[in-house]
Amino acid sequence: MSRVLYWVAVIPLFLVVIVFSVTNHATTELSLWPILTETVPFPVYGIALVSLFLGFIWGGIVSWFQNGRCRKRVRDLRRQAEADQSEISSLRDRLARLEEGARQATIPALPPLTPALPPEPQAASVAER
């Protein structure tokens, strides 16, 4: 679906650029004073397209720098989330080991009580005889 939307947007854009280039094919003199001292013949559509391209690049650079704090925040939050997930995993492992240890360390139930036998009569002591 995204590929279809891409072509739906790109084809008309290319058509607009082609129509613009054909209708503005006249040349003009371009003087880039600090770089070139002579004037250079250049088509009008070339000037327009180069200036649009440079504006696009400049806008991307400005946007990149403006969103730097957001990207840094996202990186920090991603690192924190990974650290939290690691801590959660280690705590789950520790809890499982503690539960296993508690299961093994439980005191077994006392055996049922047997009825008490009556005390046996003790033999008479030697002094009484």
Instruction: Give the tens place of pLDDT for each residue, 93-129.
Output: 999 999 888 877 776 667 777 766 666 766 655 555 5
Domain hosting residue 33, numbered range: 8-66
| pLDDT one-digit tens code per residue, 72-83 | 999 999 999 999
User: Of 42, 66, 90, which residue constitutes the final position of a domain?
Assistant: 66
Which pTM does this prediction carry? 0.54
User: Going along 10-126, which residue ranges are E strands?
Assistant: 27-31, 39-43
Amino acid 31: pLDDT: 87
In a domain, 88, yes or no: yes
Q: Based on the domain organization, do 83 and 60 belong to the same domain?
A: no
- Same domain (yes/no): 25, 51: yes
Q: Buried b / exposed e across 5-19, counting CB within 10 Å, b at 16+?
A: eeeeeeeeeeeeeee
The number of domains in the chain is 2
